[in-house]
Amino acid sequence: MQRARARRLLLAGCVLVSLAAAALAFQGSASPAVLQPLRVAHLRALPARDAAGLTRLDSNLRTLVRPSLRSGRVSVEIDAARPAAARAAVSRLGGTVGASFRNVVDARMPVAGLGALSRDASVRFVQTPAHSYEDAIPGEEVRASLASASQANGVTGKGVKVAIIDGSFAGLAARQAEGDLPTNVVTRDFCEGGFPNGEGHGTAVAEIVHEMAPDAQLYLLCEGGRTDLAQAEQFARSQGVKIVNYSAEWFNQGRGTNDPSDAVDQVVADAKAGGMLWVNSAGNDADMHWSGTFTDANGDGFGEFAPGSEGNSFVAPGGDVFCGFLKWDEWPAATSDFDLVLVDSNGSVVDTSANVQSGTQPPIESKCVENPYSSNHRFAWGIYGHNVKSSPRFDLYTENTSSLQYQTAAYSIGDPASSPSAFGVGALCWQNNQLEFYSSQGPTADGRVKPDIAGHDSVSGATFGPFDGSCPSGFAGTSASSPEVAGAAALVKSANPSFTADQIGAFLQQNALDLGPSGVDNQFGAGALRLPTMVVKADRTPPSARALASKGVRGHAVKLSSRVFDDSGELRLREQVKRNGVVIKTFTSGFLLTPKAVAVPLTWTAPKALKGAITHCVRGQDRAGNLSAVTCAKVALSG
């Protein structure tokens, strides 16, 4: 009820402004004078590259190592060939080791030690800490997905745990007070105290999951880096979470094909191996991405995006930070050396990302710049080839800018939505099932079809405001369509408790409405999310519980055990110790997870002078109340 009232109030004209919505407004409404096409024909000469033996140090860090700047400490992420040896090198060079996950080692280093660290044999590459990007551009999703019919039948996500991993959760208490989010959410900060910060992106995502699956137990987990993301995933798994929503993407972390060197993909692979469905926004980059190969017809070193055009221009918001990310398909070590160049509209070079690629380093360049102009300004990205020995496919992404002048929707699928272990979600306008122009598209670098499905966006919510009559508005972006699918997955799981993550995904795809080219395609995946009317299936299958024989010593702790299972995946136990058939001790458990038959241990201290025939008896009960038979086993006592 409260939820409905909050929505009516919003539709009545309360306008909440978010940074993300402002960015969208910028995209759609910059003045024609600023947006007039600009052709950067020739880029002016590149400044000399000063790598000075620092070939495994991110060019954004290299500038810090100049003698005049060699003071202070800086946070870095190390891509380690040998993580233990890299951690030792950090300590030896006066740094502090942070968290680690697979090949990634976090550290805080004295700037003076960065060069030596990058030259250590254990280190592949030292870079500035990477972070994820929210896939939002800022509750019609329940209707659009046809979830309302299932909800009316009592399919509400009850008994299903859903984790929302996000950058931050500002406004959570307010949303709970208004009834847009339940009070029983579990929260954990894996983002160094940043949980309540930001623009409420995670909170808005949680609102959508909750509308779709109102009785699902929500876990709100924030992450601030790759090792944080790994910790959040591990925590979710330890809590019995079955569905994860991650409305974010990473740039330049890998090929998007579950390669061992890609720590973000490895987190998603771990989630899948742990039985979780990892639902991930596809990204909002279809118009902010370019893909192609290197062509330098005039031989000046700068590649051409079109004949006679060496710049790929865009408009950056005044005074704000914007970024470019370039990768080429030579993982894990680049053969050719390309640099990313930022140029002003007159073709002069403003900044460069100039990592050295000499055969061992990753094929990545990235540059984040604060726009020195206070108003919207047109720049262009360029690509310079230093040592071109191959012709790899590029992916160039621009962030927090307008669309690119030369754009390629194909291959714009974000990471880790691209992972074979992720369930990637594109965005459709909820009103008419039209693909949003920004919804990232496949295929993946290795030719797989992505996204996996398409959900609905531009929905109203308390955090990002109302749908205003046309798309995009309200909560727009694949950040919004992904939690619709995650919530739908929770409904499917609650109606079909025995379903595995793969079965949930297959069910969603089979019931989707095919759109675009016939069959699964690189724009819509399997099509628009569409749920059949589901019913709560009464659980009529009793659990099994078998006590196992045990032995021990009088006056000491005795280990009793039993083997138990229920088809719903959960049961609770009543365990009793009997002497000559008479109960002398009773234990009861809470609900235990039984994805398969599991052994359950119990410790009981045998009284010193206990005589007679001792037995341990077990009975299981599932959530529907079905009881197993009581089974008993002998407890042989000595001493």
Q: Which of 38, 539, 627, 634 binds Ca ion (CB under 5 A)?
A: 539
CB closer to Ca ion, 197 vs 387: 387
User: Shortest distance, CB of residue 518 to Ca ion, whole angstroms?
Assistant: 6
Q: Which of 141, 180, 566, 570 binds Ca ion (CB under 5 A)?
A: 566
Interacting span for Ca ion (CB under 5 A) from 13-21, 62-70, 457-465, 540-548? 540-548
Alpha carbons within 13 angstroms on the beta-carbon side of residue 145 total: 37
- Indicate whether 91 belongs to the interface with Ca ion (CB under 5 A): no
CB closer to Ca ion, 171 vs 362: 362
According to DSSP, the residues that pair with 163 across neighbouring strands are 219, 244
Site residues for Ca ion, window 387-426 (CB under 5 A)? none
Interacting span for Ca ion (CB under 5 A) from 180-188, 469-477, 490-498, 520-528? 520-528
- Indicate whether 302 belongs to the interface with Ca ion (CB under 5 A): yes
Rounded CA separation 558/574 (Å): 17
Interacting span for Ca ion (CB under 5 A) from 63-71, 266-274, 325-333, 567-575? 567-575
Rounded CA separation 283/118 (Å): 32
Contacts with Ca ion by CB under 5 A: the residue count is 17
Rounded CA separation 484/441 (Å): 19
CB closer to Ca ion, 344 vs 539: 539
Site residues for Ca ion, window 460-519 (CB under 5 A)? 514, 516
CB closer to Ca ion, 123 vs 236: 123
CB closer to Ca ion, 202 vs 543: 543
How far is the first Cα of the chain from the last one, in angstroms, to the nearest whole number? 65
- Indicate whether 199 belongs to the interface with Ca ion (CB under 5 A): no
- Indicate whether 568 belongs to the interface with Ca ion (CB under 5 A): yes
CB closer to Ca ion, 46 vs 558: 46
User: Shortest distance, CB of residue 94 to Ca ion, whole angstroms?
Assistant: 29
- Indicate whether 541 belongs to the interface with Ca ion (CB under 5 A): yes
Rounded CA separation 218/209 (Å): 8
Interacting span for Ca ion (CB under 5 A) from 334-342, 433-441, 583-591, 594-602? 334-342
- Indicate whether 628 belongs to the interface with Ca ion (CB under 5 A): no
Q: Which of 347, 567, 572, 633 binds Ca ion (CB under 5 A)?
A: 567
Q: Which of 58, 134, 180, 339 binds Ca ion (CB under 5 A)?
A: 339
Q: Which of 172, 277, 622, 628 binds Ca ion (CB under 5 A)?
A: 622
Rounded CA separation 215/17 (Å): 29
Interacting span for Ca ion (CB under 5 A) from 243-251, 318-326, 343-351, 618-626? 618-626
CB closer to Ca ion, 234 vs 295: 295
- With b for 16 or more beta-carbon neighbours within 10 A and e for fewer, the 20-58 pattern comes to bbebbebbeebeeeeeeebebeebeebeebeeeebbbbb
CB closer to Ca ion, 147 vs 512: 512
CB closer to Ca ion, 463 vs 568: 568
Helix segments in 167-314, DSSP class H: 172-178, 201-212, 226-238, 263-273
Site residues for Ca ion, window 238-297 (CB under 5 A)? 296
Of 210, 250, 251, the residue nearest 229 (C-alpha): 250
If 0-12 CB within 10 Å is exposed, 13-18 middle and 19+ buried, where does residue 286 land? buried
- Indicate whether 58 belongs to the interface with Ca ion (CB under 5 A): no
- With b for 16 or more beta-carbon neighbours within 10 A and e for fewer, the 542-555 pattern comes to bbbbbbbebebebe
Assess contact for 585 and 604: CB atoms under 8 A. yes
Q: Hunting for tokens 């569409």 — which residue is that?
A: 530
Query: How many other β-carbons are positioned within 10 Å of the β-carbon of residue 354?
Result: 25
Rounded CA separation 64/52 (Å): 13
Question: CA torsion, points 606, 609, 612, 613, in degrees to nearest 10?
Answer: 10
User: Shortest distance, CB of residue 524 to Ca ion, whole angstroms?
Assistant: 5
Would the CA dihedral through 19, 22, 27, 33 be positive or negative?
negative
* Interface contacts to Ca ion, rule CB under 5 A: 296, 298, 300, 302, 337, 339, 355, 357, 514, 516, 521, 539, 541, 566-568, 622
